[in-house]
């Protein structure tokens, strides 16, 4: 009995091989290790009365190649529960043959690296939603392995959902995460770096840099570039670029891509007419099925002193002018106060400068309206 090992991937299709020397009266049976039928063929047609229900519409033979000695089985939409041993029984009128196939099923949904901030703390998380068997996860800081990382895992239908995270304690260093599936011989990598920040004045422009490293970046693969502004709890997507369709999308009208730079795989972005609210951290995320590259840049926008002068100077001039006018008016009011002659009570009246009337024509017995008393 021959034995072969076949490696399949979760939710994909696979072929279980089985060959024989063709002859008349061909009989083919495929069974699993529990002796349940996957498929049967004899009398020149399929015989599926004994087929186990979980294999219905998921298995088939290559009918056009059976008489050429091909009894291989097409196995569709693999699940982790399909992993196991399968036996191919083939007979003709002159000989018999048994083939054993060991099917191993792996899962590796593309991982992601996420950058998060909570208050003053910064974190990196490498997340894989579905992986089997359990992967090898490694972290490095400036190419030096570290062991200080937290791991959260949940098992569902045999696969693992894993979050592995580290605190960023050295912002001038690069952080790398690798997740390896040894069965599928597939390794995904993530890298985080922080570039030098910017200090700009209001109304100026800034070029936010994002150039991938050659050691990670594979331009022949499909990838997505996403720019976002990082908040304490959430991040807002500003723009993104899809390599497969060469599509660019900008959600902030003051942002712009440079097509010539994109063609050279430079995904830097220009932010125009800066305001104080633009201060913060900006994240460039380049992701494919094999890697995630995160680049952080800090922008600090300061008040333009020339703008302050342009705003405050007219206000100061207006205040000084108003003060001067008030001073003149008050002085004249003081000079125009008089009292009724011969009135010992010294009732105070407003003179003709204020009232526009000749004070000499107003009798002392009249009751005046007192506008100002000193």
The overall pTM is greater than 0.85: no
CA distance 291 to 112: 8
pLDDT tens across 83-101, in order?
A: 999 999 999 999 999 999 9
Q: Please check the confidence at residue 59 and state whether its pLDDT lies above 70.
A: yes
Peptide bond into 133 cis (omega under 30): yes
Q: Please check the confidence at residue 254 and state whether its pLDDT lies above 90.
A: yes
**pLDDT: is 372 or 271 the higher one?**
271
* Predicted pLDDT of residue 331: 57
CA distance 37 to 51: 5
pLDDT tens across 171-204, in order?
A: 889 999 999 999 999 999 999 999 988 899 998 9
The H-or-E segment that residue 146 falls in is strand 144-146
Residues 211-230, mean pLDDT to the nearest whole number: 84
Share of the chain above pLDDT 90, in %: 61
41 and 28 Cβ atoms separated by less than 8 Å: yes
Q: What is the largest CA-CA distance in the chain?
A: 153
Mean pLDDT of the chain: 85
Most confidently modeled of 14-28, 113-127, 232-246? Answer: 14-28
pLDDT tens across 9-18, in order?
A: 999 999 999 9
Q: Please check the confidence at residue 216 and state whether its pLDDT lies above 80.
A: no
Give the range among 25-34, 46-55, 296-305 with minimum mean pLDDT: 296-305
Domains of the chain: 2-106 (2.60.40.10), 109-190 (2.60.40.10), 195-319 (2.60.40.10)
Q: Please check the confidence at residue 358 and state whether its pLDDT lies above 60.
A: no
* Predicted pLDDT of residue 307: 56
């Amino acid at each position: 009995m021959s034995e072969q090992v076949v490696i399949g991937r979760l939710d994909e299709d696979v072929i279980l091989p089985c060959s024989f020397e063709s002859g008349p009266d061909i009989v083919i049976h495929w069974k699993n290790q529990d002796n349940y039928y996957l498929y049967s063929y004899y009398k020149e047609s399929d015989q599926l009365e004994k087929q186990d229900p979980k294999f219905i519409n998921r298995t088939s033979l290559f009918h056009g190649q059976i008489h050429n000695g091909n009894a291989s089985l097409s196995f569709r939409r693999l699940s982790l529960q399909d992993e196991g041993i399968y036996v191919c029984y083939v007979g003709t009128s002159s000989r018999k043959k048994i083939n054993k196939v060991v099917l191993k099923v792996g899962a590796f949904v593309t991982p992601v690296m996420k950058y998060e901030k909570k208050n003053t703390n910064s974190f990196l998380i490498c997340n894989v939603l579905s992986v089997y068997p359990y992967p090898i996860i490694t972290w490095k800081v400036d190419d030096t392995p570290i062991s200080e990382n937290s791991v959260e895992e949940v098992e569902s239908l045999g696969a693992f959902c894993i979050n592995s995270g580290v605190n960023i304690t050295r912002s001038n260093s690069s952080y790398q995460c690798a997740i390896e599936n040894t069965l599928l011989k597939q390794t995904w990598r993530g890298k985080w770096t922080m570039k030098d920040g910017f200090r700009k004045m209001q109304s100026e422009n800034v070029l936010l840099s994002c150039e991938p490293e050659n050691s990670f970046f594979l331009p022949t693969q499909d990838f997505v570039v996403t720019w976002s502004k990082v908040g304490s709890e959430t991040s807002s997507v500003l723009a993104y670029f899809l390599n497969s369709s060469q599509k660019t999308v900008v959600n902030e009208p003051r942002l712009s891509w440079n097509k010539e730079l994109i063609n050279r795989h430079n995904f830097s972005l220009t932010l125009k007419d800066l305001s104080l609210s633009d201060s913060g951290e900006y994240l460039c995320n380049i992701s494919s099925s094999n890697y995630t590259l995160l680049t952080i840049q800090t922008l600090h926008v300061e008040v333009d002193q020339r703008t302050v002068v342009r705003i405050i100077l007219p206000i100061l001039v207006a205040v000084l002018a108003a003060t001067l006018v008030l001073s003149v008016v008050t002085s004249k009011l003081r000079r125009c106060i008089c009292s009724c002659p011969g009135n010992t009570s010294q009732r105070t009246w407003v003179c003709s400068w204020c009232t526009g009337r000749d004070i000499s024509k107003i009798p002392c017995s009249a009751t005046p309206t007192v506008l100002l008393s000193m």
